[in-house]
Amino acid sequence: MKKFDEYQGKKVLVMGFGISGINAAHLLVKLGANVTANDKVTPKNNDIVDDLEADGIKVITGDNPISLANEGFDVVVKNPGIPYDNPLVAAFVKQGTPIITEAELGWQIFDGHLVSVTGSNGKTTTTTLTQLMIAENAKHQVKYAGNIGISFSKIAEDLGPDDTLVTELSSFQLLGAPTIHPHIAIITNIFSNHLDYHKTRENYINAKLNITRNQTKDDFLVINWDRDEWQKIAQRSQATIVPFSRLNKSHEGSYVEDGMIYWRGQEVMPTKDIRLIGPQNVENALAAIAAAKLSGVTNDAIKKVLTTFSGVRHRLQYVMEYQERLFYNDSKSTDIEATEVALQGFDRPVILLAGGLDRGYTFERLVPYFKKHVKAMIVFGECKDKMKDAGNQAGVPVVESENAITAVPEAWKLSEPGDVILLSPANASWDQFPSFEVRGDKFIEAVEELTGKKEQ
């Protein structure tokens, strides 16, 4: 952690009691700030409030009182999920108070080598693979943090100038990170996500591009080269562009040709040796390889990681095999594109469990994938009728269920030896579960109850 005096004597409001918010509040005290912490929900765990107050932090819960906008705060550190049209946030925007996220705070105190990953899909897997690859050859600490569920600023506190941090950054985090400057930035892909928050696709793209906004020609932007639009987006960066591609050969980066992965024209390994399934994980591997090679990682280290790493929890996570059925937990697939790529990863018949929060869109785009890969569907949640319509268009049998838990025994009844039972909802979880992690965990528990086995 580097010396950072900008907050000495400053009055700072932290909005949101998530992991990142709590860590940010305690860190700001160490940095000399006068801190107020606010959450519109009163925590059930009193220890959270007690710990904050014991550190000299003023705590306000149960509301986001608009009166806080009149208390002269110098900076607001906002939970990324709180929208900018929140009345209190909007008041701070109107009066010109700087609003940052915890990712910006983490960057401000970080004193090492930063690699940052963003994108619509594949962020967590790419972040994890990149960290594992760099760590294989490293003489110093290599950690990961950010949207992966670990506070950026908390990890940054413990790292020195020779250490490396690989961060997963969401569009929400990047909106409040105006000075962040990774030496290596990765954009896995850009689809049309979170438009309820960003309002327009261009706003969403601009938020993603904050990852490269401060880069120079001495830095690197590793970006997916498989769509013309993404190639054009790359032109908006000042960094040295390093493409990765599953479909287009480019000697400037990593690519696939005849089943072999190459880095700048040199063989690395066959794609068939990657333990993770699906074309999307070939893309994630290509992105991680590019970042690893730019960091001086050897091919042997890359091969070791890609032949042994079996996946991130909730992202096409293999759960178990039981009576010749394979169970997969892909609860992190909270949009249509993620479910598309998940289905393409299987060459067996799929019993698909899908549904969740209704964000207003329909699922016709999934119909060709249902026709090709799906044997039957179990649908649930607010959007189950829309999901059912898509299944009917594909000619796939559809059964309604209450949620991802009750769907498991229903899927079992429809399955036969050789089938895959896949939770890949294509929707957020918030209509029935507090997070996709909880949804995935509950799915696994239901599988364990059905089979009498523990996840493998």
% of the chain exceeding 90 in pLDDT: 86
Of 418 and 312, the structure prediction assigns the larger pLDDT to 418
Chain segment 357-387, per-residue pLDDT in tens: 998 889 999 999 999 999 999 999 999 999 9
Assess whether pLDDT exceeds 90 at residue 197.
no
The verdict on whether residue 124 carries a ligand-binding annotation is yes
Measure the CA–CA gap between 424 and 116, rounded to whole angstroms.
26
| Residue 122 annotated as part of some ligand binding site | yes
121 annotated ligand-binding residue = yes
Asked if the model's pLDDT at residue 194 lies above 80, the reply is no
* Structural domains in the chain plus CATH codes: 11-100 (3.40.50.720), 103-308 (3.40.1190.10), 317-451 (3.90.190.20)
Start-to-end Cα distance in the chain: 38
**179: which 2 tokens?**
């000075």
Percent of the chain at pLDDT exceeding 70: 100
Give, as one character, the DSSP assignment of residue 46: H
Say if residue 334 carries a ligand binding annotation: no
- Computed over its alpha carbons, how large is the radius of gyration of the chain? 23
The predicted-structure confidence for 69-101, as pLDDT tens digits, reads as follows 999 999 999 999 899 999 999 999 999 999 999
Q: Which residue has the tokens 């400057």?
A: 181
Residue 193: what pLDDT?
67
Determine the Cα–Cα distance for residues 117 and 379; give it in Å rounded to an integer: 32
Separation CA 239–CA 220 (nearest Å): 5
> From residue 438, how far is each of 172, 344, 359, 405, 452 by CA, in Å?
21, 25, 20, 11, 20
Q: Which amino acid is at 338?
A: A
Is pLDDT of 199 > 90? no
User: Within 13 A of 397's CA, how many CA atoms are on the CB side?
Assistant: 11
Does 126 show up as a binding residue in the annotation? Answer: no
pTM of this structure: 0.82
